[in-house]
A = this chain, B = another copy of it.
Amino acid sequence: MRKALGLLLTLALVLGLVGPGASAQTKDKPGTPERKSVHVQIVLFDGFDLMDALAPYEVFAAAGMYTGEAMTVELVSAEGKRSVPSGLNGPALEATAKLDPNRPGIILVPGASGKPAGKTADAIPAILAQAAKTSLPGIMKKALDNKDVTVAAVCGGSLLLAMPGFLKGKHAVTNHIGMDALGALGAIPVKARVVEDNPRLVTGGGVTSGLDVALYLVERELGPQVANEVEKLFEYESRGTVWKAEGLVPIDFAANQEGKAQPVK
């Protein structure tokens, strides 16, 4: 027993040693009262994908931890507080509040988890179609119209926004298996891991790109030092240049063998 206590003490001491280094990294920009907190709502719906929702959740939560709550995050649903089952018979998560499109900050829509194709009720197209019949699209329309809200979507979340026509003419990305559908629904599909349009719409590709969507938003809202600290904690480095409609447009060699790079019109 004394030995066990000694080991616990060792563990606490050794882990404790990293404290000063970690806090030194963030001391230039502590979460100060004058900095308004960025609130993130992550929207759950029946059949949602766990990692699409929770990888960003955890990035945002860690960013809050490293800034004295300059960022806060909660799980919400269109229907309000309820237990929401994830897809593929996965575990349920409790949405603790109703999705509020009037609240400034970030609203993130995950995709669905299910069979990647087919016509059964547990296939992704059916799960997204079911979610599209709820009050979720109507509320998201208000969020998209709110200038104080950035709407983010991961994986099939982009399709869920595109299905009612909300992404017409907007640049976006989704899981590679849904890119043709995204185009058919009127969006401009861009092959990048993260795509920012306008800049109030930020979409990510397949499941794990949710990490990159969230790290980009943390950097944009709170700065690179916080994003870097979260990356170190999670042993992840954000992947891919965030695509934006700015800068030179690279020559499209498939369409034009001789052109020059052009600025965005």
Contacts and interface: CB of A to CB of B under 8 A. Distances in A.
A254 interface: no
Given A58-B50, A115-B65, A116-B22, A163 B92 contact: no
Interface in A49-70: 49-51, 54-55, 57-58, 61-62, 65
Contact of A57 (B50, B75, B117, B132): B50
A58 B177 CA distance: 18
Interface string A26-48: 00000000000000000000000
A264 interface: no
B184 A10 contact: yes
B235 A117 contact: no
A151 to B, nearest CB: 19
Contact of A54 (B51, B124, B175, B235): B51
A123 to B, nearest CB: 8
By DSSP majority rule, is chain A's interface helix, strand, loop, or mixed? helix
A14 interface: yes
Given A12-B125, A209-B235, A90 B61 contact: yes
A18 interface: yes
Contact of A11 (B128, B232, B235): B128
Interface in A150-202: 159, 163-165, 175-178, 180-181, 184-185, 193
Interface in A95-126: 96, 113, 115-119, 123-126
A65 B49 CA distance: 14
Most chain B C-beta atoms within 10 Å of own C-beta, residue among A58, A132, A184: A58
A209 B233 CA distance: 11
B233 A16 contact: no
Contacts of A18: 116-117, 177
A27 to B, nearest CB: 15
Given A11-B128, A12-B125, A75-B91, A113 B58 contact: yes
Nearest to A113: B58
Contacts of A19: 116-118
Interface of A: 4, 7-8, 10-12, 14-19, 22, 49-51, 54-55, 57-58, 61-62, 65, 75, 88, 90-94, 96, 113, 115-119, 123-126, 128-129, 132, 159, 163-165, 175-178, 180-181, 184-185, 193, 205-209, 211, 232-236
